[in-house]
Amino acid sequence: MTNDPHAALRERALERVLQGPGESDAALRQAAAEGRGLPAGLQPLVDKIHYHAYKVTDDDVARVQAALGDDRAFELVVSAAIGASWQRLRAGLAALEDA
């Protein structure tokens, strides 16, 4: 891959979100970023974030907030979103590299 001046910053941001201090367990945040391996009650929201983010509703988030509380629900959503964006970015960069 070509020299990317922003790669190190992205890596640090991803690491901070997934492995840094937080209210939720780092393994849960990592699973949300990967989009798999979550408890059944959390998987539907994470799936929506990964594959159809525009379909996420207030009710989807409220269900997770009721289960986890505000801070842990926020961390789950952010982890899923950063993981999904990271996957798309890598796919896009790979496509550009192949072109």
Residue 83 CB neighbour total at 10 angstroms: 23
Please report whether residue 64 resides in a domain. yes
**C-alpha to C-alpha distance for 28 and 76, rounded to whole angstroms:** 8
User: Is residue 43, in this structure, part of any structural domain at all?
Assistant: yes
pLDDT band at residue 1 using 50, 70 and 90 as cut-offs? very low
pTM over 0.75: yes
Asked if the structure places residue 90 within a domain, the reply is yes
Residue 2 lies in a domain: no
The verdict on residue 1 lying in a domain is no
Residue range of the domain that includes 40:
7-98
Q: Tell me how many domains the chain contains.
A: 1
Q: Distance between CA atoms of 19 and 4, rounded to whole angstroms? A: 23
Q: Is the pLDDT of residue 36 over 50?
A: yes
Confidence check: pLDDT of 66 > 70: yes
